[in-house]
Structure 1
Amino acid sequence: MKKVYLLIVVLILGLTGCATRVSTSFDRQADFSKYKSFCWLQGCEFTFTGPRYMNDSAVVSNLKNAIIKEMEEKGFIYDAENPDLLLDFHVTVENRQTNVYRFEEDRFLQLDPVDQSDVYYFLEGTLIMDIADRETGQMIWRSSANRYLELNPQMTEKNLRKGIGMVLRKFPPKEKK
């Protein structure tokens, strides 16, 4: 019975834990080819918006470095004096739970639950990136990545860079010809 139970848990967590949902919207009228530089939204001061427990100097530094590196790889330069684009991001982490019901081994195919269930806790994290045209103040890009996380996620630069890469994967949008 434990094998069947374990298999169900592994399948549920495996299927949900692997998927990262990314959604993107942007101003289709904006000419993205004119943008060459970027800075942070709050007066070019890098500020962290997210859970307090993630707001430590190492995580904030890793996040800042990950964003700068991704933007530089896309051909943009960091310019605190006269940027074309202003970037802002938000991190949310929410506690989630799910119930997993146990089945009697001989009644498994009938799918009649026994009055026993286990509660599993996990985190759901979302990273939102907003990009605005500095001159007009208009937001021209928004992308978010949503994923289930470990209870104690590793906030290394490598892991954060992977998340930032997903959010910025389609930035800037390619012109359709």
Structure 2
Amino acid sequence: MMRFLTIAFTGLLLAGCAANVVTDYDDAVVFGNYSSWAFAPSAGNSSFVSLDGNRVRQAVERELNRKAMRQVAEAEADLLVSWQIVEEERLEQSGVGLGFGFGTGHFGWALAAPPPVREIQEGKLVIELVDNETDQVVWRAASRRYLRESQSPETRSELIDEVVSEMFSKYPPGLE
């Protein structure tokens, strides 16, 4: 019993340490040279700002302000912030399968049906920082947590705030 509890506790501990955000960056870039930013014209990849888009923009502004970076006009910015919510479909089993069987001794028959499967639409947030002079992505963060259609506005807002905060906790690289 003690061995089982130790293994279960270790599993929970490791699951708690799993990163909810993955970042990548150009290791040749000196991030200390960047002091200003603007949203890229294609940020959000839409001609209008959605409800989630507005939440992302507010969270990005808050986090870059915490980094003491100035928001300026696009032409004057050192970095352009591009973001998108990438839609993904995944299959989810819901409930349990059904089955029955009969038999005697060492012989029997059984029938079973797998649990129902349904498609779920989810959105993964990806933020990229682009050097305005070179038009090259210098830093990228992607969430491992997903927005779901069924989430309430409050839950969506909290999730976006948490994810964006965690993303920018890893910017600039090397300060973790």
Percent identical pairs in the alignment equals: 22
Contact 2:79 2:132 in 1 (8 A): yes
List gaps (5 residues or longer) in structure 2: 1-14, 102-109
Query: If the length of structure 1 is used for normalisation, what is the TM-score?
Result: 0.67
How far has the Cα of 1:126 moved from its partner?
1.1
CA distance in 2 between counterparts of 1:127 and 1:168 reads 13
Task: Tell me what 2:24 maps to.
Answer: 25
Aligned residue for 1:48, secondary structure, equals coil
List gaps (5 residues or longer) in structure 1: 1-15, 107-111
Q: 1:82 aligns with which of 76, 99, 102?
A: 76
Task: Tell me what 2:57 maps to.
Answer: 64
CA distance in 2 between counterparts of 1:31 and 1:60 reads 29
Structure with greater proportional strand content: 2
How far has the Cα of 1:169 moved from its partner?
2.3
How far has the Cα of 1:34 moved from its partner?
1.1
Aligned residue for 2:164, secondary structure, equals helix
Aligned residue for 1:173, secondary structure, equals coil
Q: Runs of at least 4 residues of structure 1 off by over 4 A?
A: 103-106
CA distance in 1 between counterparts of 2:45 and 2:133 reads 24
How far has the Cα of 1:103 moved from its partner?
5.8
Over aligned residues, Cα RMSD in angstroms? 3.3
Aligned residue for 1:114, secondary structure, equals strand
Query: If the length of structure 2 is used for normalisation, what is the TM-score?
Result: 0.68
How far has the Cα of 1:117 moved from its partner?
1.8
CA distance in 1 between counterparts of 2:129 and 2:145 reads 21
